[in-house]
Amino acid sequence: MPFVGRRAEPLFADGDGGEVDAGGAASSPPPSPSSPPSLSELGFDVEAPAPEPEGPLSSIPLLPIPSPLLLGSAVFLMIATVGSILTDDPSPNPLLHYGVPVASVPTAFFFFLAAIKKGQLETEEDDLKP
């Protein structure tokens, strides 16, 4: 590829990574750009930001409840759902018989996913601690 400007057009590359111009003189490869120093290298005390979750769990809001309590609530709701479905006679209270599974299944899945998200964030925060 010919160069535009005052530089001579390279004919071929030599073995050292530099180029040989039309006059036969080898030129050195251009220096790589250096990155600017980070704030910690400059002496500032910088805390690492909390990691942002990515993926399908990012849309679930963070609840101010410990993750074991969320997981236990999800398990309790699913047990109540199975118990309600497997009862023989729904005649005493059909609203309770059919209402528990309808309300518990989506709530249990939400609590389960919220417990996973909260647990991941707590683990990542613990990993950042010295």
> pTM here?
0.53
Q: Is the pLDDT of residue 107 over 90?
A: yes
Residue 1 predicted with pLDDT over 80: no
pLDDT in tens, 15-46: 555 555 555 555 555 555 677 766 667 776 66
Note the pLDDT tens digit of each residue in 49-104.
555 656 766 777 788 888 899 999 999 999 989 988 887 776 777 787 888 889 99
Both tokens of 46, joined, read: 């910088």
- Would you state the pLDDT for residue 2? 55
Q: Where are the domains of the chain?
A: 63-128
Q: What angle do CA 118, 122, 124 make, to 5 degrees?
A: 115
Residue 5, by phi and psi: left (phi above 0), alpha (psi -120 to 50) or beta?
Answer: left
Which are the contacts of 119, defined by CB distance < 8 A and separation ≥ 6? 67, 71
| CB 119, CB 67: distance < 8 Å | yes
Contacts of 14 (CB under 8 A, 6+ apart): 20, 26
